[in-house]
């Protein structure tokens, strides 16, 4: 049979989140807290006046205005997207040409390289070591001739972050487009969002999917220099954010001080860092600036499967690493108890 796939699609496999139904979900870095009832009531009331027979606001103006108020940025320098994923794809597709190169690091969010490959952009990967620094990455970008570089800060999946001053120094001393994904910055205080509109080579990404309990809305935002944002508004689909997400997202942002659980979840993650070594002595637990913990264990897949059989989903990164999102305090305690049971069952086998 004739193969109708392009060369760039051959061998590609879909992104695979954890599938199935589990009593405790600690695999996707979402907030465990649902949106409050008062938010849902506001949404239902305003939905009565929403004309779903018409296309949504093509520029998501009211949504962007609310985001800009919360984060202290100029709405003229913001574009909204169907999650940060869409924006990453649009940025790479519109601001880089076929055959040009983008720098990524590893471990890092796998979709950065995937979207680049779909756009036929070359991917140059810097493997992180214990001594990894932004100075090293800047040199790598220069030496590999990359037109752009993308990284998450704090990092997904390691949870570690670079301070604001170091990131700004990196941006200002790197002769490439710098895409800084701050998806987890609601759990930390080192954002560079406030200067994104003034740096000509900088785009900062944010999301409502993590600290706000609104992952299902698929809402992401890019903030950057006027020329870059203008280009993204040309390249994106004209109605890329649907009416329901715009409406509910605006309500969420207008109540941000009551909904954003970032500090609370970050505190839980610090507690988890202290608890995990006691219940899993074989683990190397990494420091984190986020709502999740990254750990290195020799039997990662066995632990992953044992937790699944006890209806606890975590993220298996590879054969030696797991990533665990914090959840409700009682869920975190259940995780620790189950890991103790795993340790006991393994001891009985030996």
The answer to whether the CB of 225 falls within 8 A of the CB of 75 is no
CATH number for the domain that contains residue 280: 3.90.1150.10
144-200 pLDDT tens trace: 999 999 999 999 999 999 999 999 999 999 999 999 999 999 999 999 999 999 999
In a domain, 191, yes or no: yes
Give me Rg for the CA atoms of the chain.
21
Q: Please name every residue paired with 222 in a beta bridge, in sequence order, or none if there are none.
A: 79, 205
In a domain, 330, yes or no: yes
DSSP-derived pairing of the beta strands 315-318 and 284-285: unpaired
Q: How far apart are the first and last CA of the chain?
A: 52
Q: What pTM, to 2 d.p., does this model score?
A: 0.95
User: Concatenated DSSP letters for 214-267?
Assistant: -GGG-EEEEEE-HHHHHHHHHHS-TT-S-HHHHHHHHHHHHTHHHH--HHHHHH
In a domain, 1, yes or no: no
Residue 154 belongs to domain spanning: 37-258
Shared domain check, 22 and 139: no
CB under 8 Å to 4, separation ≥6 — which residues? none
Question: Of all residues in the chain, what percent carry a pLDDT higher than 70?
Answer: 100
Shared domain check, 187 and 105: yes
Shared domain check, 289 and 253: no
Phi-psi region at 120: left, alpha or beta (left = phi > 0; alpha = psi -120 to 50): left
Decide which of 198, 233, 258 is a domain's last residue: 258
User: Concatenated DSSP letters for 200-217?
Assistant: TTEEEEEESSSSSS-GGG
Q: Please name every residue paired with 321 in a beta bridge, in sequence order, or none if there are none.
A: 296, 318
Element (H, E) at 348: helix 329-349
pLDDT of amino acid 102: 98
Burial class of residue 168 in the structure, from the number of CB atoms within 10 Å of its CB (0-12 exposed, 13-18 middle, 19+ buried): middle
pLDDT of amino acid 243: 96
In a domain, 95, yes or no: yes
Tokens of 304: 């992953």
CB under 8 Å to 285, separation ≥6 — which residues? 273, 276, 277, 293, 294, 295
Shared domain check, 109 and 25: no
Shared domain check, 66 and 16: no
What total number of domains does the chain contain? 2
The arithmetic mean of pLDDT across residues 276-295, rounded, is 96
The answer to whether the CB of 181 falls within 8 A of the CB of 198 is no
Q: Please enumerate, as own/partner, the contacts of 42-48 that have beta carbons within 8 Å and a separation of 24 or more.
A: 42/251, 43/247, 43/248, 43/251, 46/247, 46/251, 47/244, 47/247
Tokens of 32: 């465990």
Shared domain check, 148 and 279: no
Q: Does residue 2 carry a pLDDT above 90?
A: no
Shared domain check, 62 and 28: no
Decide which of 258, 273, 307 is a domain's last residue: 258
Shared domain check, 328 and 239: no
The arithmetic mean of pLDDT across residues 309-318, rounded, is 97
In a domain, 240, yes or no: yes
* Strand blocks (E) in 26-147: 78-82, 101-106, 122-127
Shared domain check, 119 and 197: yes
84-142 pLDDT tens trace: 999 999 999 999 999 999 999 999 999 999 999 999 999 999 999 888 999 999 999 99
pLDDT band at 292 (very low <50, low <70, confident <90, very high): very high
Q: If you count DSSP H runs as helices and E runs as strands, how many of each does the chain have, helices first?
A: 12, 13
Shared domain check, 92 and 203: yes
pLDDT of amino acid 322: 98
User: Concatenated DSSP letters for 125-187?
Assistant: EEEP-TT--HHHHHHHHHHHT-SEEEEESS-TTT-----HHHHHHHHHT-SSEEEEE-TTGGG
CATH number for the domain that contains residue 159: 3.40.640.10
CB under 8 Å to 242, separation ≥6 — which residues? 56, 82
Shared domain check, 265 and 253: no
In a domain, 57, yes or no: yes
Decide which of 258, 278, 295 is a domain's last residue: 258
Shared domain check, 20 and 114: no
In a domain, 2, yes or no: no
Which residues in 278-294 are b (16+ Cβ under 10 Å) and which e?
Answer: ebbeebebbebbbbbbb
């Amino acid at each position: 049979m004739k193969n109708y796939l392009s060369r760039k699609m051959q061998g590609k496999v879909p992104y695979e989140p954890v599938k199935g139904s589990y009593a405790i979900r600690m695999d996707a870095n979402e907030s465990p807290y649902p949106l409050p009832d008062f938010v849902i009531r506001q949404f239902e009331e305003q939905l009565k006046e929403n004309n779903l027979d018409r296309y949504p606001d093509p520029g998501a103006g009211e949504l962007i205005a609310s985001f800009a108020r919360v984060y202290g940025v100029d709405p003229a320098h913001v574009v909204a997207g169907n999650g940060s994923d869409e924006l990453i794809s649009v940025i790479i597709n519109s601001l880089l040409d076929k055959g040009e190169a983008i720098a990524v690091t590893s471990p890092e969010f796998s979709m950065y390289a995937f979207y680049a490959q779909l756009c036929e952009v070359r991917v140059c990967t810097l493997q992180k070591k214990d001594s990894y620094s932004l100075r090293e990455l800047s040199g790598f970008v220069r030496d590999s001739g990359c037109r752009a570089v993308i990284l998450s800060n704090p990092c997904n999946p390691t949870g570690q972050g670079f301070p604001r001053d170091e990131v700004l120094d990196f941006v200002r001393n790197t002769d490439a487009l710098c895409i800084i994904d701050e998806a987890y910055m609601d759990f930390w205080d080192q954002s560079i969002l406030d200067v994104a509109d003034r740096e000509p080579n900088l785009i900062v990404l944010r999301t409502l999917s993590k600290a706000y309990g609104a992952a299902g809305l698929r809402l992401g935002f890019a903030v950057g220099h006027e020329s870059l944002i203008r280009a993204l508004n040309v390249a994106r689909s004209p109605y890329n954010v649907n009416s329901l997400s715009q409406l509910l997202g605006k309500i969420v942002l207008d109540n941000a001080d009551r909904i954003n659980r970032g500090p609370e979840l970050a505190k839980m993650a610090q507690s988890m860092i202290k608890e995990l070594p006691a219940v899993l002595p074989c683990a190397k637990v990494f420091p984190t600036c986020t709502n999740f913990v990254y750990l290195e264990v020799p039997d990662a897949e066995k632990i992953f499967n044992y937790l699944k059989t006890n209806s606890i989903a975590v993220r298996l990164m590879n054969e030696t690493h797991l990533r665990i999102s914090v959840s409700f305090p009682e869920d975190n305690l259940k995780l620790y108890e189950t890991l103790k049971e795993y340790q006991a069952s393994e001891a009985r086998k030996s």
